[in-house]
Amino acid sequence: MNWITQWKNWKGRHLNMEAKASIKAKLNSYSAPQDMGMPSMRPEQSERFEAVQKIRARRTKPKGFALPGISKSRDKITSFLQGNGIDAGIIEHIADSHYIFEAEDGTCVFVGYDGDTAKYAIVCETGEDDKAPVFVELPGSHKFVAWPCPANGESELLQVFEHPIGALQKMSEEKKAGIAWDHKHHLAVGGFRIEPIYYFTKNHPEIKTIAFCFGDDVAGRSIAEKYADEFRKRGMTCYIETKKKG
């Protein structure tokens, strides 16, 4: 290797070292801000950002379940339930069994249990006699628990309803007809949830037959047929009962 080639190699290495040193010096000269903060936003953007953050905080916050305070009276819920065609004796029985109670604000609270622990509740206003009952599920309610009225003893039959009022009306009709209304299980699933039916039948293995007593409308019949097919696959006898609204 001649001296010209050696000189070129040395110059190349020297230039590379200088380039690296220069780049390093530039990087070191950059001072990162102590607080980057949020990028500047218009007022409406800032408000939306804060709203979204609050929603995210609520969603990530653990959900607690707590029943409302219990009133010393049952007058409002008794009047409300009787106004919806429910037998006074059945109301007393269900209330004494702690499946319903009157809250301090006068609402009717239907309670569902997992064993002896309350894990579900659905609330209904009692003051609007001229309107159809509106049900609101209590926050933190367990998705596998619903409002039950178990049979007095073991029973192979489970009747499933959308809401508690329908179940109580069915019990009252059977009592009036001389049928033993308390010799079968009742379950109101708070709409059309299927999870509580799985859970209830698992905890009551004696159940062999399920009657789906949803509304006589397109949605009610369609879902009842779907659920009936699902539980037939599990070896159960299923049928659909309908009750025309009004």
**What is the helix (H) or strand (E) element at residue 12, kind and residue range?**
helix 3-29
pLDDT at 235: 95
pLDDT at 135: 87
CA distances, 56 to each of 22, 49, 52 (Å): 46, 11, 6
- What are the pLDDT digits (tens) for 108-147? 999 999 989 999 999 998 876 556 778 889 999 999 999 9
CA distances, 68 to each of 111, 126, 195 (Å): 11, 15, 25
Q: Which residues of the chain have pLDDT under 50?
A: 2-4, 7-8, 10-11, 14-15, 23, 26-27, 29-38, 55-62, 245-246
Residue 103 · residue 123 · CB < 8 Å = yes
pLDDT at 25: 55
Tell me the residue type at 108.
C
Residue 76 · residue 126 · CB < 8 Å = yes
